[in-house]
């Protein structure tokens, strides 16, 4: 009975006299047949991994809505859905060609737009590869929605999300991943190591977040004129935690899937990914515990993500013990970075700049330091060059983009709209119409994310939840 | 150390002198060995895809509860859990045999009940295939729970869900997918193209939804005697969005898994699935924006689903550009269809008839129009015949079934129970006992789903969420 | 263009003169090449399955928070995140070596600590196998967080979770799964059947839960001095249902992944897993309906889990019909067990002892009774011996551990902290700051889990949700 449905369709399709694509020749040598089975395994693995990475969109959506307020929950969902939807179309039309097309200069590709490298009847690998790459592009794009949450005009965000998927991400990507067989990018020619994208994906998203946050300014009520810093609490910590679990899962596609081949290398990449995340969560929890006196949930969740971001670059080229060290350091860094950005009044509601920008840079550097084949000043120098190149390309272009949006259609909603909540003003809805929304809600920790650290005693009383038995 | 656990068990099992099933002969030719490895890859891919499709049950549960009221959340969860559980047993006992058994007439199969095609020691492919098919049957069944939400008796729904999995879905399925090797269905003999089931799965669910909604009538408070249409808002938009992300993920099993083989074809199916969903979400958002003045979340989320439903039939036989067009048109259709059914006072709380019935029909037609091997009036005619056959089989039988339930045990709860909420009256519980439920809640858009479009100005004021900083 | 990124990196890595790990020799015989492709498929399947099992952590987190109160939601999330994170590190350092290292005595392993069996350049299978095993260890650990919910000190829980991953789980695991090639455990030498761990994973978690619950005592307000039993309701049933869907999905990695090989056996394991879960949910619903007069959601959800736990041991060695029977019996057992433990005043907020302990034992016994190769008193005797050995190892050691924690740093929070909620007192936060928390909430069924069965008439009135139209 096996596969008769498919066979039936293939028969029918052949009867129409067309689409004889990728048919197996009637006689294959054993060697060719073995290669074909391996190729089939490569397709399955690469595409299953792509599905897992796609699911990270849900993870980001849950983390971002969990760490922000109820009145902006629809808006966050719409941004996360639409940056993937519109980003997919932009990456299909232009981004993929810029990133992976033939590159004569080493600075961007110039072929393969609109998936034109694929011809019906030709080798469909370009489609599998596109599928894997589009979910990476979307990851870079969606990181920014968290940092710019609760105050950005929806239409402005849509424009940004198209431009990053179409231009900013692919151009940097072509430098590091453009492909030696197609001319290649200048960074990969130098030997830059960024296996699954600590820099290519996460720092790109992180530095674009920084630009967006600076152009937008902080949320109303976050930084007081008298110098006090008001925490603004996330409204649903279980959803945020679910998001982190989903992201951790998705990373098992993100890192080992970057082999784009079914081989033995994926085992160490899985293990390194898991251990770095575990160490990141653990050290972030401990760091928060020391600094705040309590094991803060928001910091711990971000610690797991910090470890994952950091191991993304070196996952295929360091030992499991090194992975633990890299993740642990990321867990400490992320707590300090979140506090640092809050102190200098850069309002990043979910900690995206710290998690993706800073820990992406750390991970990329660590790939040089902990390289299983040995390190050298040259290797570390190239890693630092790549980190710098990313910042110098992404931050100015993203800043310019956000400024352009700001002075034309406007990047930020009005203060009235911000106070009212973007769900109602931007989307005409409310995320939780059946529930009573608390007026005392939305106040919290220095770090935000739903914890209560750092507030004054009176604030703590105010935030005390209703007693129940 | 590799696989020693398993080996240990196999040794033990052999010691009991039994179950030498599926053992590799001691000497295989290279050709046989290559075929065996490919077969193993087919098993892995088909079953991983089945797992992804299973997860769509969670997606439907989240979408349906998110788009309905808090007082019916337990009921929706129970329906989604039980239609899968009881449907699995019904499809095991009867449905699979009707759909995929030997069919002499072309109208239904007559063998393979209770998985009797599988003998211990024999080829287990029938089990892998059953697993992939049972999650499809369950998808058709669970679509209906959304359309009939908030007013259906639980026991009546259970009876329906068994009958659709046991009879209605398998009989139509046998016409289109019954298998050329086993006699085959009359539709597939004609050349009907429905690769992964826009009609076989989604329209079946959609037309059964239409029948159920008509027998039930609208929810109390939805259509006023003075002609006004009251929106009834969904209570948790982030959960609905999570559901759409989960469904999108599951569709990466649904469509490419329908190869039931690990081959290169899955790449184009992945890409087409993703691009159609992206285009569907984008065009639905734009359509809603034009019609309502705001980018409505409920419509956008349903637009993604509309694109996915539409591409399900043609996913393996159209180009990526065609997939974008097909999805985009589905995104426009779904908004218009939701508004149409609301205007003619068919109360479908989640838009299931529009998403699955109407866009399923559109997708099936598009498979004829955009066929990569060329189209013809004959091809389009067969597609239209298949669409019509589905409606003519499913709608009357489902209508009769729901009427029979209605006149015997009753299909709809009493008005008092409906006002109280089905969680308390049907299940003796409440989904959110720790939260204050708002009396003003549950009012919203024409389309429902949690948006506020189309209400009067005073309604909008009423629905304004509590202000917070 | 295929795999050019990876190739690029490999080239670069080779240039550094290091890490020639696992390179394919330049000339492979066809037989060797076939074996290599099969090995690649084994890696992919085992690691994809590991990813699915990892995701069960999210499932447990959602079930446990859904079945407990809003004031402890952060605490449950943190426990579920940290038992995986710290458990991963503990299993890396010690647990894996104790469980799978060379075992001369049959009682525990003594090699492979800190993943020292892996050498760069050597066979990475040990890494794939570790990855699959660490998610199993974490499952055993995380089961306990539900049973001990709402009253356990966070730091005490962390200590427990390290010890179970480091010592209690691995030692028992070595008896049953330690590996015949490495000396093997005494239980596997006797022929003990526990394919995927009804006993090794689930009963270990269940009996540790029992010990923890006994040392802790019941939650305040659960058992009154006048003998009445107060239900304490779960705060979010949709999240609990989502958790069950996620766990069901994860079990498609848990059971068939335990082949740790891509072969045909996974088909029957998938089917058995699904049918047992379906039967478990169905029979638990019916049993609850008979006992309470309504189809209770909490019991039904636990029924699905009960079926899954029970089929875990026999999934590879019973027929699909047997799987239905095994799951159905588990569905009845779990309802009776939950009511039994409540009657003897053992307060298990989520039913973990019943689901994992009792149904784990039943499943292990059923593997002997329904063995597809025939059964005997000897087989059943060995199964009973394994069940007893698990209890006799886990319960006393876990009880001692919890007592030690109790008398040193303290296992239970103060009554004031318990009433206030652990989110605020242990983590300084609140999970839902934007929502009004109801004072009347948190009262419910005998069984808990969000249902209202078994309360008095006046309680039912009290718990009646706000009426809405």
Contact present, B348 and B209 (Cβ < 8 Å): yes
Judged by a CB distance cut-off of 8 A, whether residue B48 touches chain A is yes
Judged by a CB distance cut-off of 8 A, whether residue B276 touches chain C is no
Beta bridge partners of C195: none
The mean predicted confidence, pLDDT, of chain A is 89
Q: Which residue has the higher pLDDT, A1 or B238?
A: B238
Q: Compute the nearest-CA separation of B303 from chain C (Å).
A: 23
pLDDT (tens digit, 9 = 90+) per residue, C249-272? 999 999 999 999 999 999 999 999
pLDDT at B448: 57
Kindly state the tokens that stand for C25.
């020799």
pLDDT at A221: 94
CA distances from C87 to B410, C77, C137 (A): 52, 15, 8
pLDDT (tens digit, 9 = 90+) per residue, C370-419? 999 999 999 999 999 999 999 999 999 999 999 999 999 999 999 999 99
Query: Residue A17: pLDDT band by 50, 70, 90 thresholds?
Result: very low
Report the C-alpha gap between B156 and B158 in whole angstroms. Answer: 5
Question: B192: helix, coil or strand?
Answer: coil
Judged by a CB distance cut-off of 8 A, whether residue C230 touches chain B is no
How many CB atoms sit inside 10 A of residue B216's CB?
22
DSSP code of residue B223: B
pLDDT at A458: 34
* Least-confidence region, from A261-265, C24-28, C400-404: C24-28
Q: Please answer yes or no on whether B61 and C249 come within 8 Å at the CB atom.
A: no
Helix (H) or strand (E) holding A426: helix A422-427
Q: Please answer yes or no on whether A37 and B42 come within 8 Å at the CB atom.
A: no
DSSP code of residue C42: H
User: Across the interface, which of A44, A184, A453 has its CB nearest the CB of C44?
Assistant: A44
Determine the Cα angle at C38 with ends C35 and C39, to 5°.
85
Q: Compute the nearest-CA separation of B322 from chain C (Å).
A: 24
Judged by a CB distance cut-off of 8 A, whether residue B320 touches chain A is yes
Q: Which residues of B touch C265 (CB under 8 A)?
A: 22, 124
pLDDT at A467: 33
Contact present, A224 and A347 (Cβ < 8 Å): no
pLDDT at A439: 52
Per-residue pLDDT averaged across C182-210, rounded?
Answer: 94
Per-residue pLDDT averaged across A43-51, rounded?
Answer: 98
pLDDT at A182: 74
pLDDT at A6: 45
Q: Please answer yes or no on whether A424 and B452 come within 8 Å at the CB atom.
A: yes
pLDDT at A104: 87
Helix (H) or strand (E) holding C305: helix C297-312
* Least-confidence region, from A256-265, A369-378, B434-443, C61-70: B434-443
- Integer Rg of chain B from CA: 23
Q: Please determine, for residue A205, whether its predicted confidence score (pLDDT) is greater than 90.
A: yes
The mean predicted confidence, pLDDT, of chain C is 89
Judged by a CB distance cut-off of 8 A, whether residue A161 touches chain C is no
pLDDT (tens digit, 9 = 90+) per residue, C319-345? 999 999 999 999 999 999 999 999 999
pLDDT at C188: 92
pLDDT at C68: 97
Report the C-alpha gap between B236 and B242 in whole angstroms. Answer: 10
Query: Residue B3: pLDDT band by 50, 70, 90 thresholds?
Result: very low
pLDDT at A183: 77
pLDDT (tens digit, 9 = 90+) per residue, C118-147? 987 889 999 999 999 999 999 999 999 999
Question: C301: helix, coil or strand?
Answer: helix
Query: Residue A304: pLDDT band by 50, 70, 90 thresholds?
Result: very high
Report the C-alpha gap between B63 and C242 in whole angstroms. Answer: 11
pLDDT at A448: 57
Report how many Cβ contacts below 8 Å link chain A to chain C: 300
Contact present, C86 and C165 (Cβ < 8 Å): yes
Kindly state the tokens that stand for B368.
């004829």
Q: Which residues of A touch C92 (CB under 8 A)?
A: 275, 320, 324
Q: Which residue has the higher pLDDT, C436 or A398?
A: A398
Question: A143: helix, coil or strand?
Answer: helix
A15, A129, A433, best to mutate vs chain B, most B CBs in 10 Å: A433
| Pick from A193, A135, B200, A68: nearest CA to C11 | A193
The mean predicted confidence, pLDDT, of chain B is 89
Per-residue pLDDT averaged across C41-47, rounded?
Answer: 98
Q: Please determine, for residue B22, whether its predicted confidence score (pLDDT) is greater than 60.
A: no
pLDDT at B460: 37
Q: Please determine, for residue A261, whether its predicted confidence score (pLDDT) is greater than 60.
A: yes
Share of chain B above pLDDT 90, in %: 83
Number of H helices, E strands in chain A: 19, 0
According to DSSP H, which parts of C409-456 are helical? 415-420, 422-427
pLDDT (tens digit, 9 = 90+) per residue, B59-71? 999 999 999 999 9
Helix (H) or strand (E) holding A196: none
Q: Please determine, for residue A455, whether its predicted confidence score (pLDDT) is greater than 50.
A: no
Q: Please determine, for residue C12, whether its predicted confidence score (pLDDT) is greater than 70.
A: no
| Residues near B312 by beta carbon (within 8 Å), at least 6 away in sequence | B194, B195, B196, B197, B198, B201, B202, B251, B254, B255, B360, B363
Q: Please determine, for residue B466, whether its predicted confidence score (pLDDT) is greater than 60.
A: no
Dmax (CA) for chain A in angstroms is: 80
Per-residue pLDDT averaged across B388-407, rounded?
Answer: 98
| Pick from A294, A264, A299: nearest CA to A282 | A299
Say how far residue C290 (Cα) sits from the centre of its chain: 29
Residue B29 CB burial class (10 angstroms; 0-12, 13-18, ≥19) = exposed
pLDDT at B456: 34
CA distances from C445 to A363, C283, C298 (A): 50, 19, 10
B30, B53, B238, best to mutate vs chain A, most A CBs in 10 Å: B238
pLDDT at B380: 97
Q: Compute the nearest-CA separation of B149 from chain C (Å).
A: 14
Judged by a CB distance cut-off of 8 A, whether residue C184 touches chain A is no
Kindly state the tokens that stand for C378.
């000897």
pLDDT at B178: 85
User: Across the interface, which of C182, C271, C374 has its CB nearest the CB of B16?
Assistant: C374
Q: Which residue has the higher pLDDT, B11 or A173?
A: A173
pLDDT (tens digit, 9 = 90+) per residue, A108-133? 999 999 999 898 788 999 999 999 99
Report the C-alpha gap between B389 and B368 in whole angstroms. Answer: 16
pLDDT (tens digit, 9 = 90+) per residue, B183-242? 789 999 999 999 999 999 999 999 999 999 999 999 999 999 998 999 999 999 999 999
Per-residue pLDDT averaged across C201-210, rounded?
Answer: 98
């Amino acid at each position: 009975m096996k596969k008769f449905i498919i066979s039936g369709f293939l028969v029918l399709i052949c009867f129409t006299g067309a689409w004889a694509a990728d048919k197996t020749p009637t006689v294959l040598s054993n060697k060719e047949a073995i290669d074909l089975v391996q190729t089939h395994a490569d397709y399955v693995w690469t595409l299953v991994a792509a599905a897992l990475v796609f699911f990270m969109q849900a993870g980001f959506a849950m983390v971002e809505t969990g760490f922000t307020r109820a009145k902006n929950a629809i808006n966050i969902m719409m941004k996360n859905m639409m940056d993937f939807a519109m980003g997919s179309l932009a990456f299909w039309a232009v981004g993929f060609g810029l990133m992976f097309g033939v590159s004569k200069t080493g600075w961007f590709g110039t072929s393969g737009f609109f998936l034109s490298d694929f011809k019906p009847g030709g080798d469909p690998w370009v489609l599998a590869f596109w599928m894997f790459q589009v979910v990476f592009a979307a990851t870079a794009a969606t990181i920014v929605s968290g940092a710019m949450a609760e105050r950005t005009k929806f239409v402005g965000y849509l424009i940004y999300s198209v431009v990053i998927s179409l231009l900013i991400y692919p151009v940097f990507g072509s430098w590091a991943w453009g492909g030696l067989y197609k001319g290649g990018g200048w960074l990969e020619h130098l030997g830059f190591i960024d296996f699954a994208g600590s820099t290519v994906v996460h720092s790109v998203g992180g530095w674009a977040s920084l630009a967006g946050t600076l152009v937008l300014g902080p949320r109303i009520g976050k930084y007081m004129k008298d110098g006090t810093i008001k925490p603004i609490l996330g409204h649903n910590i279980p959803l945020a935690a679910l998001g982190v679990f989903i992201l951790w899962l998705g990373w098992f596609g993100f890192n080992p899937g970057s082999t784009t081949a079914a081989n033995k290398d994926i085992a160490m990449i899985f293990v390194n990914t898991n251990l770095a995340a575990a160490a990141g969560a653990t050290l972030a929890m401990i760091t928060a515990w020391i600094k705040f006196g309590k094991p803060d949930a928001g910091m711990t969740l971000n610690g797991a993500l910090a470890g994952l971001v950091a191991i993304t670059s070196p996952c295929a080229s360091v030992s499991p013990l090194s992975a633990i060290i890299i993740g642990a350091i990321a867990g400490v860094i992320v707590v300090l970075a979140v506090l640092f950005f809050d102190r200098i009044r850069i309002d990043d509601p979910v900690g995206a700049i710290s998690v993706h920008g800073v820990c992406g840079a750390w991970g990329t550097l660590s790939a040089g330091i902990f390289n299983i084949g040995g390190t050298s000043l040259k290797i570390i120098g190239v890693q630092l060059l790549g980190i710098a190149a990313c910042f110098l390309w992404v931050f100015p272009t993203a800043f310019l983009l956000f400024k352009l949006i700001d002075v034309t259609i406007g990047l930020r909603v009005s203060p009235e709209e911000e106070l009212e909540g973007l769900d109602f003003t931007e989307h005409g809805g409310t995320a939780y119409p059946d529930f009573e929304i608390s007026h005392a809600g939305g106040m919290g920790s220095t770090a935000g994310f739903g914890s209560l650290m750092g507030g004054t005693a009176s604030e703590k009383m105010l935030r005390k939840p209703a007693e129940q038995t």
